[in-house]
Amino acid sequence: MDGTFNNGSLGLYLIAGAVILFVLAQSVFFLVKAWKQGKKLGLDKSKLRNAVTSSALFTIPSALSVLATVIALAPALGLVIPWVRLSVIGNLMYETTAAEAAMEAFGHEGGIANAVTDPTVYAGIAWVMTLGICFSLIILPFLAKPLHKKFMAASNKEKPAEDTPADGKKKRTIGEFINKFATPAIFIGLIGAFIARAIAGQGSTKTPEELDGAGVLSVCTLAVAVIFSIVLELIVKKLKLTWLEPFIMPIGMIVAMIAAIVLYNVLPNGIALIEWRG
């Protein structure tokens, strides 16, 4: 182990800065191209400004999710790798899952709660997080368009009148089934994995001081996130605040993180550190 390794060194920040500048430059390039194309099509400047403004506002919920994920991964990986990963391509569920899987494979104890001090392990985790998400970039150009056409065709396909059952109930098409059941089921499965981790823990034998298993803090944090998100969703529906709907998940995450910090400092150690599975 190299004791001089620093996951927040100037060199790493310079590399990260170069990547972020490239992403920003790419965004500005396409913004200018889109603006020019809009003017060429005869669109009014006010409409173009409204499109830019609405697009910028739409990114705020995603930015909050990115911030929450960076905060969650920072204790283990520092700010640089999470910042770069989530500024280019990535999301909360993938990044944390990939990072934790790599840490377990390398035998890093403490999960995302403990700092990675071995440069070899750190580099390995960064490679796992990066290469895993790059797979989608490779397959999307070849599969996205054909799959989209298939789903749209299946969703829009009308069944002939003679195929309609005698009871008058139409059979669902493949597209309708995917939109209504398959996609929500996949999302619920991913969320369920995180809920199970908070309740059942990782299943390894770790010391309670590492706070990486299931215990009072993990369950309380989960409960705060769920309750706050449900209450916020009810408020959105009751008051018809549709603009607030995309913010529910990131706000719930941030509130849960704040609650975990408050509970850790407020509750007695004999309660806050209780874990039933490491």
d(CA 221, CA 224): 5
Helices (H), 111-173: 119-156
Q: Are residues 128 and 23 in the same domain?
A: yes
Q: Whose CA is closest to 76, among 47, 107, 109? A: 109
% the chain with pLDDT above 70: 78
Q: Are residues 183 and 132 in the same domain?
A: no
Residue 50 lies in a domain: yes
* pLDDT (0 to 100) of residue 1: 45
Q: Whose CA is closest to 75, among 160, 8, 173, 4? A: 8
* Largest separation between any pair of C-alpha atoms in the chain: 76
From 75, 107, 136, give the residue that closes a domain. 136
21 pLDDT more than 90 = yes
Task: List the domain range (segments joined by +) for residue 257.
Answer: 179-278
Q: Are residues 123 and 245 in the same domain?
A: no
Residue 174 lies in a domain: no
Whether the CA torsion 232, 234, 235, 236 is positive or negative: it is positive
Contact 207, 109 (CB under 8 A): no
Residue 167 lies in a domain: no
Q: Are residues 132 and 190 in the same domain?
A: no
d(CA 256, CA 260): 6
Confidence of residue 162 (pLDDT cuts 50, 70, 90): very low
Q: Are residues 3 and 124 in the same domain?
A: yes
From 102, 136, 170, give the residue that closes a domain. 136
57 pLDDT more than 80 = no
From 136, 162, 193, give the residue that closes a domain. 136
d(CA 38, CA 36): 5
Tokens linked to 110:
């403490």
Confidence of residue 161 (pLDDT cuts 50, 70, 90): very low
Residue 214 — φ and ψ, nearest 5°? -90, 130
Q: Are residues 183 and 271 in the same domain?
A: yes
